[in-house]
């Protein structure tokens, strides 16, 4: 048990560090190869920040622990909204622009509803996984097309400025890309082994471990980037980071895991975790709609999100000890 816990802690630390190195190397390499800053921001960084969830869930599914994969995806979504946005809003209220309410949030809400519909029969087969990946590809293609039409210039400009401020030679870029990828996979294997071992020792399902320990750990990159964005006054990036991450988790992470190993979904996942995830997604509409002024998630609403996270996590921990 102690060895497994140490494996989880070490795995999480190396996972977060290697994901950061992997993103740095990938972004710089893509720049050297002539990839436009907009595509680097939307594709490379988008995949990179969700790399921990994707790799952990893929390995968990391939090793016969699909519950851990599903718990990681849905738990990360809940953590992103309730913990990360809640904590960020308590530190500094998050402005919600009308474009986000009109475009990004409706897309996330529809995709969350689509995901809930797919797991309604308590099974995610390869057909379901294929549908999730197809919707993911369509969403990414639409986002890139919108960006190419001139609606993603801010993101492209920020990536371009970041590359100019922190240039990296191609050999070093390739080195960090390779090192980051190898350590990402290795730390994920260590984390999955430790998490499954802890679940077996405590006599709980691997879904619970995925929803708690693994979900928090794999969401650390989003937490760090959101706090940095708010500190710089870039509220759009903080909120957009969470929305984008949840899209990746719901579609790509669950889709990849389901394609590798079909999953039988615990009824509690539908009645508890999918419900909480859906309600939290809808709460962003309620909090973000400004009525007579620009919408924002203020400190009180951020506190409510944190309370939701504490209550939800407390219930999961109680479930562990009750078993």
Closest by Cα among 176, 136, 224, 230 to 27: 176
Band (276; pLDDT cuts 50, 70, 90)? very high
Q: What is the C-alpha separation between 305 and 10, in angstroms, rounded? A: 29
Residue 251, pLDDT above cutoff 90 = yes
Tokens 């390869």 found at: 126
Band (4; pLDDT cuts 50, 70, 90)? confident
Tokens 């405590």 found at: 202
Q: What percent of the chain clears pLDDT 90, i.e. is strictly above it?
A: 26
Q: What percent of the chain clears pLDDT 70, i.e. is strictly above it?
A: 80
At 129 the pLDDT is 95
Q: What is the C-alpha separation between 161 and 158, in angstroms, rounded? A: 5
β-pair partners for 263:
124
At 191 the pLDDT is 82
End-to-end, the C-alpha distance of the chain in Å comes to 17
Summarize pLDDT for 194-239 with one digit per residue, the tens. Answer: 888 887 787 878 888 888 888 888 787 777 777 766 776 666 667 7
Q: What is the C-alpha separation between 198 and 323, in angstroms, rounded? A: 13
Band (60; pLDDT cuts 50, 70, 90)? confident
* Geometric angle at alpha carbon 39, from 38 and 41, rounded to 5°: 65
Q: Give the chain's mean pLDDT.
A: 81
Q: What is the C-alpha separation between 268 and 265, in angstroms, rounded? A: 8
Residue 241, pLDDT above cutoff 80 = no
Summarize pLDDT for 66-112 with one digit per residue, the tens. Answer: 888 899 999 999 999 999 899 988 988 887 766 666 677 888 899 99
Residue 277, pLDDT above cutoff 90 = yes
How buried is 161 (Cβ within 10 angstroms: 0-12 exposed, 13-18 middle, 19+ buried)?
A: exposed
Per-residue pLDDT, averaged over 15-43, amounts to: 69
Phi, psi of 293, rounded to the nearest 5 degrees = -145, 175
Q: Specify whether the CB–CB gap between 56 and 188 falls below 8 A.
A: yes
Phi, psi of 126, rounded to the nearest 5 degrees = -70, -30
Band (278; pLDDT cuts 50, 70, 90)? very high
Name, in order, each residue with C-beta under 8 angstroms of 267's C-beta and a sequence gap of 6 or more.
122
At 63 the pLDDT is 84
Q: Which domains does the chain possess?
A: 52-152+194-322 (1.20.1420.30)
Q: What is the C-alpha separation between 154 and 161, in angstroms, rounded? A: 11
At 309 the pLDDT is 95
Residue 314, pLDDT above cutoff 80 = yes
Band (147; pLDDT cuts 50, 70, 90)? low
Torsion-angle region of residue 291: left (phi > 0), alpha (psi -120 to 50) or beta?
A: left
CA 142 → CA 153, 159, 244, 292, 298, distances in Å?
15, 20, 13, 31, 31
Please give the model's pTM, rounded to 2 decimal places. Answer: 0.82
Phi, psi of 95, rounded to the nearest 5 degrees = -70, 140
Band (155; pLDDT cuts 50, 70, 90)? very low
Band (257; pLDDT cuts 50, 70, 90)? very high
At 280 the pLDDT is 95
Tokens read off for 232:
């710089």
- H or E element in which residue 88 lies: helix 86-91
Q: Specify whether the CB–CB gap between 194 and 213 falls below 8 A.
A: no
CA 136 → CA 33, 111, 125, distances in Å?
25, 9, 17
Q: What is the C-alpha separation between 30 and 108, in angstroms, rounded? A: 28
Residue 249, pLDDT above cutoff 80 = yes
**What b/e sequence results for 234-256 when a residue is b if at least 16 CB atoms lie within 10 Å of its CB, and e otherwise?**
bbbbbbbbbbbbbbbbbbbbbbb
Q: Specify whether the CB–CB gap between 18 and 48 falls below 8 A.
A: no
């Amino acid at each position: 048990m102690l060895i497994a816990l140490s494996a989880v802690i070490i795995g999480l630390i190396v996972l977060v560090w290697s994901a950061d190195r992997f993103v740095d190397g990938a972004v710089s390499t893509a720049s050297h190869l002539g990839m436009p800053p907009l595509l680097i921001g939307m594709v490379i960084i988008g995949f990179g920040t969700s790399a921990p969830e994707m790799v952990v869930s893929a390995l968990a599914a391939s090793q016969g622990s699909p519950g851990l994969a599903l718990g990681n995806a849905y738990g990360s979504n809940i953590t992103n909204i309730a913990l990360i946005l809640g904590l960020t809003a308590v530190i500094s209220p998050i402005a919600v622009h009308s474009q986000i309410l009109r475009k990004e949030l409706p897309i996330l809400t529809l995709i969350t509803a689509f995901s809930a519909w797919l797991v309604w029969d308590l099974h995610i087969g390869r057909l379901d996984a294929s549908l999730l990946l197809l919707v993911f590809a369509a969403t990414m293609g639409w986002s890139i097309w919108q960006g190419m039409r001139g609606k993603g210039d801010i993101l492209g400009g920020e990536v371009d400025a970041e590359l100019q401020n922190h240039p990296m030679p191609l050999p070093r870029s390739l080195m960090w890309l390779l090192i980051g990828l190898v350590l990402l996979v290795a730390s994920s294997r260590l984390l999955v082994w430790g998490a499954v071992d802890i679940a077996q020792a405590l006599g709980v399902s691997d879904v619970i471990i995925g929803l708690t320990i693994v979900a928090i750990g794999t969401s650390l990159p989003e937490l760090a980037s959101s706090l940095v964005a708010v500190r710089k006054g870039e509220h759009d990036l903080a909120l957009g980071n969470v929305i984008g991450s949840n899209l990746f988790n719901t579609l790509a992470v669950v889709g990849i895991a389901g394609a590798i190993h079909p999953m039988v979904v615990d009824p509690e996942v539908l009645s508890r975790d999918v419900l909480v995830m859906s309600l939290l997604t809808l709460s962003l509409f309620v909090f973000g709609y400004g009525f007579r002024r620009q919408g924002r998630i203020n400190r009180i609403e951020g506190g409510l999100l944190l309370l939701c996270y504490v209550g939800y996590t407390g219930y999961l921990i109680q479930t562990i000890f009750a078993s």
